[in-house]
A and B are shown apart, each in its own frame.
Chain A
């Protein structure tokens, strides 16, 4: 092909070689890789060289509780998000477009609205004298306000709210890619709707569920804003603890050791996700 011939000439090949990536590579190396590596080095050099920061983190019950809280919340949030997102994505995949575009519009509006705005709304909605407690008391379901904020319940509600679009949107793609004929065939062969769901629809959507669920889990592990505002001080999660160690306690050694643990877990799960869906699919996601 003549195109190939042209691109063998160095002068035509150069713009599409690695050269174009140099500004991006420089930016990321200088202002991302170097600062992060420098931070992680502090975890084994401050206050004195050694692994004492990690020994403190793993040896102290207070920190163990923060790690436990973080994994607990991320697990619960992921489970709830997957269960809630699946039926919605299922409907969105097959709904008439006119109706579907309204639901899509609401999802995008929620997703694009300022994160602090959404969290603020939940702070007001969930407080002791908030609308939810008032309504429940007015209709007589409860006599005392439920503790919905400054605990893990509040964090879970707020986090599920934020994560739902990230689970629904990719799942719609997965479900749309399934050929409806396979399910028609199942019905013709006598499968009950429940059997068709359990043995065909669910297994075929499993890759999408796994990829989306993993993404939600990873994002939840390192989330800072919502857990900090809805969780209160006694239910600290890992990201908030790291910020506090640096900002208020100025303990850079301990803070960067905790950051390293978060980074390691995140990157391991990210690698797993890449293997699951492939880098191509990930980058074509938007």
Chain B
């Protein structure tokens, strides 16, 4: 009976109450930060003595914030495109390839997701210093592509495993070239996987803090580096304003994802 929602009895009330409590716990910081960003207290008193938009004005008055956001968007877009392209090619080999060491290869390509990012951060920092890519956009993009690759490979291989290969074979038998068959039959069939890959890969770079802290130079800062720098100075409400915009971005991304997924799965 424990897995029958309608027959749980008193346990259901207890479990529902607990679930509600944890949902509130998960929501608390997000809602709190948005409310705080409109509060008039510089010392982050809560509930705020009054409401204001001045932290947003301060945020937009400082060009460094916008510049950091644009840098992040640029790097995350490039890293996501590269990770999806490279990940797509690799996924075909990982799912369909018949070669020795396929599972080892899969494990290797997914390792950047498992290795503590601080280890990779200092390793790539030292390496880029030596080969002259330290503090450059190219360096950022390469490092973030490495970190984003597992997040691209996982949904694409999952989608590819669920796709019946005989449909692609049928297209080839009907005269399509193997490339054409992949492009016009297989890719449309796994587009939800590719779309998820793009979102996850983008977020992996957009949210990345540790590598960015090491790689950043005074002239090249991503948004997380800018927030990190401000956090270490003080807990200014301007950070709350910037954070609220990031929450807004997350919400829009969730809605867009839900809509596109619904549309694609039709």
Tally of A-B Cβ pairs under 8 angstroms: 303
Q: Would you call A156 an interface residue if the criterion is a C-beta within 8 Å of the partner chain's C-beta atoms?
A: no
| Choice from B97, B224, B250 contacting A21 with Cβ under 8 Å | B97
Interfacial residues of chain B within 6-55, with CB under 8 A of chain A in the complex: 9, 11, 15-16, 18-19, 22-23, 25-30, 32-33, 36, 43-46
- Known interface pairs A120-B235, A283-B157; A35-B25 also in contact (CB < 8 Å): no
Interfacial residues of chain B within 231-263, with CB under 8 A of chain A in the complex: 231, 235, 239-240, 243, 246-247, 250-251, 253-254
Q: Would you call B110 an interface residue if the criterion is a C-beta within 8 Å of the partner chain's C-beta atoms?
A: yes
Interfacial residues of chain B within 68-124, with CB under 8 A of chain A in the complex: 85-87, 89-94, 96-99, 103, 105-112, 114-124
Asked if B250 and A112 make an inter-chain contact with CB atoms under 8 angstroms apart, the answer reads yes
Asked if A124 and B127 make an inter-chain contact with CB atoms under 8 angstroms apart, the answer reads no
Q: Would you call A196 an interface residue if the criterion is a C-beta within 8 Å of the partner chain's C-beta atoms?
A: yes
Q: Would you call A103 an interface residue if the criterion is a C-beta within 8 Å of the partner chain's C-beta atoms?
A: yes
Asked if A121 and B15 make an inter-chain contact with CB atoms under 8 angstroms apart, the answer reads no
Q: How far is the CA of A88 from the CA of B19 in the complex (A)?
A: 5
Shortest beta-carbon contacts, A-B, top 3: A222-B116, A121-B29, A35-B127
| Choice from B29, B151, B210, B253 contacting A118 with Cβ under 8 Å | B29
List chain B positions with a Cβ less than 8 A from chain A: 1-5, 9, 11, 15-16, 18-19, 22-23, 25-30, 32-33, 36, 43-46, 85-87, 89-94, 96-99, 103, 105-112, 114-127, 142-143, 145-146, 149, 151, 153-155, 157-158, 161, 165-166, 169, 172-173, 178-179, 182, 196, 200, 203, 207, 209-210, 213-214, 224, 227-228, 231, 235, 239-240, 243, 246-247, 250-251, 253-254
Q: Would you call A216 an interface residue if the criterion is a C-beta within 8 Å of the partner chain's C-beta atoms?
A: no
The interface residues of chain A lying within 8 Å CB-to-CB of B209 are 115-116, 224-225
| Choice from B90, B103, B207, B246 contacting A24 with Cβ under 8 Å | B90
In the complex, 7 of the A-B residue pairs with CB atoms within 8 angstroms, ordered by the A residue number, are A6-B169, A6-B172, A35-B124, A119-B231, A224-B118, A252-B126, A267-B114
Q: How far is the CA of A121 from the CA of B231 in the complex (A)?
A: 11
Q: How far is the CA of A23 from the CA of B90 in the complex (A)?
A: 8
Asked if A184 and B1 make an inter-chain contact with CB atoms under 8 angstroms apart, the answer reads yes
Taking the closest CB of chain B, its distance from the CB of A109, in whole angstroms, is 6
The interface residues of chain A lying within 8 Å CB-to-CB of B87 are 24
Taking the closest CB of chain B, its distance from the CB of A79, in whole angstroms, is 16
Asked if B145 and A27 make an inter-chain contact with CB atoms under 8 angstroms apart, the answer reads yes
- Known interface pairs A225-B210, A274-B107; A263-B115 also in contact (CB < 8 Å): yes
Taking the closest CB of chain B, its distance from the CB of A27, in whole angstroms, is 6
Asked if A21 and B89 make an inter-chain contact with CB atoms under 8 angstroms apart, the answer reads yes
The interface residues of chain A lying within 8 Å CB-to-CB of B106 are 279, 283
Asked if B112 and A15 make an inter-chain contact with CB atoms under 8 angstroms apart, the answer reads no
For the complex with contacts A6-B172, A17-B98, A259-B118, 14 further pairs of A-B residues with Cβ separation under 8 Å are A6-B173, A17-B99, A20-B97, A24-B86, A27-B146, A32-B146, A35-B127, A38-B123, A107-B26, A115-B224, A125-B32, A201-B2, A255-B122, A279-B107
Q: Would you call A25 an interface residue if the criterion is a C-beta within 8 Å of the partner chain's C-beta atoms?
A: yes
Interface of B is mostly: helix
Interfacial residues of chain A within 243-286, with CB under 8 A of chain B in the complex: 243, 246-247, 252, 255-256, 259, 262-263, 266-267, 270, 274, 279, 282-286
| Choice from A2, A21, A263, A285 contacting B109 with Cβ under 8 Å | A21
Taking the closest CB of chain B, its distance from the CB of A263, in whole angstroms, is 5
Asked if A31 and B142 make an inter-chain contact with CB atoms under 8 angstroms apart, the answer reads yes
Q: How far is the CA of A38 from the CA of B173 in the complex (A)?
A: 49
Q: How far is the CA of A218 from the CA of B254 in the complex (A)?
A: 28
Q: How far is the CA of A119 from the CA of B99 in the complex (A)?
A: 45
- Known interface pairs A88-B18, A225-B209, A285-B154; A28-B30 also in contact (CB < 8 Å): no
Asked if B110 and A113 make an inter-chain contact with CB atoms under 8 angstroms apart, the answer reads no
